[in-house]
Each structure stands twice: as C-alpha cells, then as structure tokens.
Amino acid sequence: MKVRKKLALIAVGTLAALSFAFTNPDEKYFEIAKNLEIFASLFKEVNMFYVDEINPQELIQHGIESMLNSLDPYTNYIPEEQIEDYRVMTTGQYGGIGANVGMRVDPVTKKEKVVIIMPMEGFPAHKAGLLIGDEIIKIDDINVEKKDSEEVSQLLKGQAGTSIKLTIRRPGVEKPLDFVIKREKITISNVPYYGMVTPEVGIIQLTDFTQNAGREVRDALIKLKEQGAKNIILDLRDNPGGLLSEAVNVSNLFIPKGKDVVSTKGKVKEWNKTYVASNNPEDTEIPLIVLTNSSSASAAEIVSGVVQDYDRGIIVGQNSFGKGLVQATRSLSHNCKLKITVAKYYIPSGRCIQAIDYSHRNPDGSVGKIPDSLRRAFKTAGGRVVYDGGGVKPDVEVPRPNYAPITKNLLSKGFIFEYASYYRQKRPSIPSPREFKLTDAEYADFVKWLSDKDYDYTTQVEKTIDELAETAKAERYYEDIKTQLEELRRKVSHNKEQDLIKFKSEICQLLEKEIASRYYLEKGAIEATFDDDPDIQTALALFKDPARFRKILGK
C-alpha cells in the first residue's frame, strides 16, 4: 500500500509541476493544465482502489501509446528498454550473429517454429554453417520452442565478442546440432545486392535509408559502370524509407548540384527547410528506371518523386505507399524518446505525396485516403502533369502478380519453404541462380512430396457459394435455388492435383527462387527472379526502345 501511495504521489507531483508550467491565460494552455490534473487524479484513484494489483509503468505506457495512436502511426513513444532497437533501425548496426529469423508453421505438426530465414553472407551465422530452415530450439540452454521470433531475435543479440550457444533442429538430420558462435558487430547493408541483369543493364537494390545509403548506392553505381552498365535500374520496392538526409544523398547522385530535392513544412517555422543537392552528381545522363510498389514509402518516395519531377528517369511498377510525413526524435526524461511527426515534405514539383489524412478522422476513429477530388495537379520540369496526395504514381504501371489460390496456399502453409530445404539435402549443388531451372522430373518429385501432406484449400468462389447458401437458408429461399447452387458448386469445385499442373509455371518460379537461396543465399534468391520478374522485364523492354523511353519523359 505504501509503494502504491508513493507511486501515485510521484505521478501527481510530476503532473502538477507540469500544470504549473501552463499558467498562460491562453485557453489552449488552460485546457492542457486542466486535463493533466484530471489525468493525475484519475491515475491516483485507479492505483489506490482498483480491485487487482496494477503495474503503474505498464498502465502509463498504455495511456501514452493510446494517446499517440490517435495522431498517426509514426508518432511513437520509445521507452528506455527499446532504445537499442531504435538505434539499430536508424544506424543498421547491432551486436549479433548476422541472421534473420522468423516464424514458420511446420507443415506436418502444424506447430509454429522459429527458423533461420536468411544467414547474412560473411557474418558469424553463415561462417558457423547455419542454414536456411534450421529451427532454433535452444539459446544458451534456454528452451525457445514456445517463444516468438522477436523474443528469439533479442536473445541472439548481445555484446560483440561474446559467445552464444545455439541448439538447432535441421531437416533431414535425426539429432539436434549444437553451434557455438561468437557475436560480431553487424552492419546491415542498405544495398544487399547490385549486379548486371544483362551485359548493358545494371541493377541496384536499395532496401533501407540508414546511415551511408547514399555512399553505398554511389559505390554500386560506379562498379556497375565499370562492368559495362549503360542503363541502371534502381529497385526501391518494399523499401520503407529511413533518414531524410540519405534520401537527399541518393537523389543527389542523379541530379545536378544545386537542385532542390525536398522541402519540409511544419508548425515550427524554424524547422521549415529546403534540402538541395549539395554535391557533384555521379551521373546525370545514364538512362535510369526506378522500381516502386505499394510498400515503397517515405525516403523511397522522395527519391522516386525527385527522379520523376526532374524527368530524370522513368518510374515503373505500382503506386507507392503515400507517406509524406517527416519525423524527428525528441529526448524525454529517464532516457526515453519521442518520435514525433513534425512536418510534411514536398518534392521539387511542389506536391506532397501524403495519401492519408490523419488530421480528420471519421466518427468511428478510422481514416481514409485523400479523395481524388481534392488532389491537385502539378508539373514536372518538362511539363508532364503529376498529382499530389496519393503517393508517386508510376509512369509505366505493371500489375502485381496475382497468384492462384493453390500457389498462395503452398506459400502460406510453408510447403515451398520446406521443400527447398528438402531439395538442398538431396543435392550438393545446382547451376548458377540465373541458369537454374526445375526439370519436369524434379517438379514431379515435388508433387510426390506433397502427396501425403494436407495442402487442401477453399477458393474464394467456393467460399462465396457457401455464404450464399447460408444466406438463402436464413431467408428461407434455399430450396428454391438448391439445384442451381449445387450445379454451380460442381462446376467451380477445384481439384488440387489438377491445379498443381495448371499452375505449374508460377509454382516453379517460387520454388526456383527459394531453392536458389539455399545455395546462394540472398544473392541467389534475387538473381533467380530476373527472367520472370514483370517489373524488371518491363524495364529491360523500355531500355531496348529508346524512342519510347524519351516519349514517356516528354523529350
């Protein structure tokens, strides 16, 4: 009881002190002071009289998070215990073994397990011999079979130079295996891959905008040109963004020095700023295509927007995410931090690509996209019309692959992932990722491997028919349409064995990518997709047609 009283008094005292800071007669500050006082007294009453014991820290944190959630998804409270994770996000550095882990469902036992998704080439996990698909069951004799991937990831991290013991279960190996691995300082590359797609076309995959992103892209660009690249693909698909400064640095590589890159405008006028290309560019002439999709956000949208606004290159793929908000980090007491949205950014044409209006919520608390009627037209440097409020729209749109139900099912239930590990056990090597193709006999082996496994599924059409039947029964029309429903169900009823043959091509593409990763890691997974990636194939076709390339850019 004394502890609860003490905590309550501390909370009341802290909030009361804050309330005295707002003695300005201005109505807004009076409301702040009043509500802080209400919150303090409410917290005191709950802490003193609630029927069960409460955790004051957790209760306050829930309150803070709920308050911030009413603003936007990017304004976040970072307690002291999460500061290290935040540092990793901004710097790309941490102490660990250099392996991505994730949850997978065992297709036989149906239980979730934490497995190695990708060992990073050249880092401790890879050098120790850990393989994709290895299930982690113990870390330093701590059983982790009931922990999730985030908990396991935290246990894997630690001071560089310290050792860690992993016990893993490997597919095809009867007994568990032990590995003693020394942690190192891990630096996650912003450019996990660059290489030549064809003798004249180079590709740079940029997945983050942490520190040194600009330098890494520059180094990759120089090396690709040395290898003969006369055209460049900059792949920003699934890039969530990051540091604004690095978006400026990457943009600067392709546009002249002194050009505006992005402007920020917010409530605090002193923070309003225009960022310009302050360095000499690396190449302002090489034909450039930027790939985007719905997960390309923030800094990735600044770069793609700059390329589009200056008619520097062609955007190919799908509409970007539409995040035009800028965050800054503010220090709080007790080593906590607040990541807060402080401004909106505007790309060179003057448009803001923010797609969602968080400042005006519906009565139910939900938010919607900015309607087309409120979007404004702007012009690129060459006079092409572009619009604000909806992300960056590609110059050449390419639909995302829409996999068949059986393909989605094989992916979601882990059969593609598990079979790749099974394949790796049987074959010591495969051709290079670009050359590797599953033979008909090997695909038949995959079908045979599936034969005793539960990979059945219900298509959306079948679900709709079932829903219609239930509605008809509830409204007592079922007997009137029963015959027609049964005939329709018979016509659309799927045959999973036939589907394996009908959709063999797309299933093979996914199998080849997953299998290539078992032998060549991330590089293999990327290169195995070159010949069937619709965005890359569209880019190659554009490079082969210079007249169309220029026409799209209005030149």
**Biggest CA-to-CA distance, the chain:** 82
At 373 the pLDDT is 79
Residue 221: partners with Cβ closer than 8 Å, 6 or more residues away: 202, 204, 232, 253, 282, 283
Half-sphere exposure of 227 (CA within 13 A, CB side): 19
At 260 the pLDDT is 97
Q: Which of these CATH numbers, 3.40.50.720, 2.30.42.10, 2.30.30.40, 2.40.100.10, describes 93-187?
A: 2.30.42.10
Output the pTM of the full model.
0.87
- The residues spanned by each domain of the chain are 2-83, 93-187, 193-400, 405-457+496-542, 460-492
Residue 6: partners with Cβ closer than 8 Å, 6 or more residues away: none
Mean pLDDT per block of 10 residues along the chain (555 residues) reads 45 47 63 90 92 90 91 91 82 90 85 94 96 96 92 93 96 93 94 97 97 97 98 98 96 98 92 94 98 96 98 97 93 91 95 88 74 88 94 96 92 93 94 96 95 82 86 87 85 82 96 97 96 97 97 93
Q: Which DSSP helix (H) or strand (E) runs through 442? A: helix 440-450
Euclidean distance between CA atoms 375 and 370, whole angstroms: 7
Query: What values do phi and psi take at 330, rounded to 5?
Result: -115, 135
CB atoms within 10 A of CB 112: 15
- Per CATH, 93-187 and 193-400 having the same topology is answered no
Q: Are 401 and 495 in contact (CB under 8 A)?
A: no
Q: Which CATH architecture has domain 193-400?
A: Alpha-Beta Complex (3.90)
Residue 142, both tokens: 């701590």
Euclidean distance between CA atoms 548 and 544, whole angstroms: 9
Residues marked active site are found at 298, 309, 323
CB atoms within 10 A of CB 273: 15
**Residue holding tokens 């393989």?**
131
Residue 256, both tokens: 């002249």
Q: What is the DSSP letter of 373?
A: G
